[in-house]
């Protein structure tokens, strides 16, 4: 199995919502390892894919995975926040479908980019390695107030103040360079009785720093809103999110588009994986799928 092999989350449901698209274009805005796109190209023989990813490694891997469908897909390394420009350049005013499968890919957690506190790696966390801002910069150069705000808001971490106090003390002595150093600081900042819960104390802080480094929330707002604008009438937009901040943004954009009579919401409540899928693919457990149809 290649490092990038990725079990596509909620793939049965995603394919089912796209089943009436007989031809035209589906934009896979987060192509990753190409798992969803592979299944779409197989199931819908006249559909073409425009695959986008920030990460050059994802683009290369998707290209490998999809090669039997050469001529039916076009891969572009970019952020999905540029979806309007990308479609303009391809000469497409509207498309028939959009899929956003948000967050990091399994390979991000396995590579040396410091996404996971399970391994000791340099603090990096960039999905797009051509950008300059890294997790090292956020942890070592941001002001106390800004760090507190990020960890509190993006991590929904109630111990943000204690964590930041300890980060500041530590970085005055020496720069904080690795994931392990950061995870240890967070661990020590938690009150002892709460250090050994089901979820590691560093989980929320790492989520917050990753969101900041990759500007994730503003990119989701831009990408999903632009996606709705560029859907043809009857077209389908599907968004899979992995934590409450992402899901809230998607829910609000969909609601707003419904008010403006641009979107019919096909999922009153988000769809979540069943027990069987969670057993096969444990990281899918927090996935939530929202689907809309362009009016
Ligand atoms: C969960 S993975 C997608 C997996 C894919 N659906 C599959 O089946 O293989 C998310 C991917 O989205 C990419 N990504 C995250 N935010 C992005 C953004 N703003 N623009 C473009 N790609 C992004 C990541 O680099 C990652 O490869």
Tell me: do 164 and 186 sit in the same domain: yes
Per-residue pLDDT of the chain (295 residues; tens, 9 = 90+): 333 345 799 999 999 999 999 999 999 999 999 999 999 999 999 999 999 999 999 999 999 999 999 999 999 999 999 999 999 999 999 999 999 999 888 778 777 888 988 889 999 999 999 999 999 999 999 999 999 999 999 999 999 999 999 999 999 999 999 999 999 999 999 999 999 888 899 999 999 999 999 999 999 999 999 999 999 999 999 999 999 999 999 999 999 999 999 999 999 999 999 999 999 888 899 999 999 999 9
Q: Are residues 225 and 168 in the same domain?
A: no
Length of the chain: 295
Query: Looking up tokens 């990725």, which residue turns up?
Result: 6
CATH number of the domain bearing residue 242: 3.40.50.150
Distance 100 CA to ligand 1 centre (A): 8
99: which strand partners? 28, 238
| Atom nearest to 99 CA in ligand 1 | 6
Ligand 1: which residue has its CA nearest to atom 24? 104
Atom of ligand 1 nearest to the CA of 35: 8
pLDDT score for 283: 84
Does any domain span residue 78?
yes
CA dihedral 28, 34, 37, 39 (to 10 degrees): -160
- Pocket (CB within 6 angstroms of ligand 1): 6, 8, 30, 32-36, 52-55, 58, 79-81, 101, 103, 105, 127, 219
Q: Domain containing 257: what range?
A: 11-107+216-294
Which of 193, 214, 235 is the endpoint of a domain?
214
Within-domain flag for 45: yes
Q: Residue 164 maps to which CATH number?
A: 1.10.150.170
Q: Distances from the Cα of 204 to the Cαs of 102, 107, 190, 194, in angstroms? A: 17, 20, 12, 14
- Rounded to the nearest angstrom, the distance between the alpha carbon of 76 and the centre of ligand 1 is 12
Residue nearest ligand 1's atom 15 by CA: 103
Collapsing DSSP to helix, strand or coil, 73 comes out as strand
CA-derived radius of gyration, the chain: 20
Q: Which pLDDT does position 110 carry in this prediction?
A: 76
- Residue with the smallest CA separation from ligand 1 atom 22 is 53
- What is the pLDDT at residue 123? 97
| Domain end residue (candidates: 195, 214, 233) | 214
Whether residue 278 is found in the same domain as residue 132: no
Q: Which of 30, 111, 124 to mutate to test the pocket of ligand 1 (most atoms within 8 A of CB)?
A: 30
The Å distance, Cα 86 to ligand 1 centre, comes to: 16
Residue 4, in any domain of the structure: no
User: Distance, CA 31 to ligand 1 centroid (Å)?
Assistant: 6
Asked if residue 34 and residue 94 are part of one domain, the reply reads yes
In this structure, are 156 and 62 located in the same domain? Answer: no
pLDDT for position 1:
33
């Amino acid at each position: 199995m290649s490092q990038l092999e990725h079990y596509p989350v909620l793939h049965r449901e995603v394919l089912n919502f796209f089943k009436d698209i007989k031809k035209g274009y589906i934009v896979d805005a987060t192509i990753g390892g190409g798992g969803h796109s592979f299944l779409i190209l197989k199931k819908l023989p006249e559909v073409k894919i425009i695959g986008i990813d920030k990460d050059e490694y994802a683009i290369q891997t998707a290209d490998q995975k999809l090669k039997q469908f050469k001529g039916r897909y076009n891969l572009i390394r970019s952020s999905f926040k540029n979806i309007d420009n990308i479609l303009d350049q391809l000469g497409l005013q509207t498309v028939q479908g959009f899929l956003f499968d948000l967050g990091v890919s399994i390979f991000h957690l396995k590579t040396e980019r410091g996404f996971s506190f399970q391994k000791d790696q340099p603090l990096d966390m960039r999905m797009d390695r051509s950008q300059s801002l890294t997790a090292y910069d956020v942890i070592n150069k941001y002001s106390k107030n800004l760090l507190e705000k990020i960890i509190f808001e993006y991590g929904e971490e109630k111990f943000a103040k204690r964590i930041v106090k300890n980060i500041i003390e530590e970085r005055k002595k020496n720069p904080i360079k690795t994931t392990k150093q950061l995870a240890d600081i967070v661990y020590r900042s938690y009150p002892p009785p709460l250090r050994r819960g089901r979820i590691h104390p560093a989980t929320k802080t790492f989520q917050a720093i990753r969101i900041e480094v990759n500007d994730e929330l503003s990119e989701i707002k831009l990408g999903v809103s632009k996606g709705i604008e560029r859907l043809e009438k009857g077209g389908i937009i599907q968004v899979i999110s992995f934590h409450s901040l992402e899901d809230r943004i998607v829910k609000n954009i969909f609601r707003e588009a419904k008010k403006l009579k641009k979107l019919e919401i096909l999922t009153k409540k988000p769809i979540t994986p069943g027990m069987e899928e969670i057993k096969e693919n444990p990281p899918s457990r927090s996935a939530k799928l929202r689907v809309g149809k362009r009016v």
